[in-house]
Amino acid sequence: MIRPVTEPVRPDDMRISDAERSAVQERLRRAHDIGQLDLGEFDDRVKSVWSARTRGELALVTADLPTPPPEPGRRRVFSDTGGGVTMRVLTIVWSSLAAVNFVVWGLIGLTAGHFLHPWWVWVAVPPGIALAVLYVAGIGRPRRES
């Protein structure tokens, strides 16, 4: 017979989901990657994670581990400033036009049976050089983090 619950369940006694188990396993993987755990200990703790039923049991698996350093983010190519947005848009337009001209040149070469002078280079290279010069000059580039 199931007894009715008369008092609230403590947070440590709450049941856990596979998503919570996966998050703790990822935390253990990061701890192993940065050298906080050796492979044997990592394996033992992952087994404990997947056999845990409550949040309290799950918390014990990582209780002695310090907070991991933040994962390095993806390095941005363009800043979020007006110059960065402009450079991003111009680069997309330039690469689209260069790709279309290259494909047209390729199709003409395939249908003619021989490839003509690569005229698409004259369409792609000068604006590409202009974009590169602007970027090297610092337009739209993110600031370096010290």
Taking the chain (146 residues) in consecutive chunks of 10 residues, what is each chunk's mean pLDDT?
73 90 93 91 94 92 86 79 91 96 93 89 93 91 73
Domain region containing 45: 12-62
Q: Can you give the pLDDT at residue 5?
A: 64
Q: Can you give the pLDDT at residue 145?
A: 62
Residue type, 77: V
Q: Does residue 145 fall inside a structural domain?
A: no
Is residue 58 a contact partner of residue 52, using CB atoms and an 8 Å limit? yes
Helix (H, G, I), strand (E, B) or coil at 9: coil
Q: Can you give the pLDDT at residue 94?
A: 96
Q: Does residue 75 fall inside a structural domain?
A: no
- pTM for this model (two decimals): 0.50
Q: Can you give the pLDDT at residue 132?
A: 93
**Which of 144, 102, 143 has the alpha carbon at shortest distance from 121?**
102
58 lies in the same domain as 99: no
The domain tally of the chain equals 2
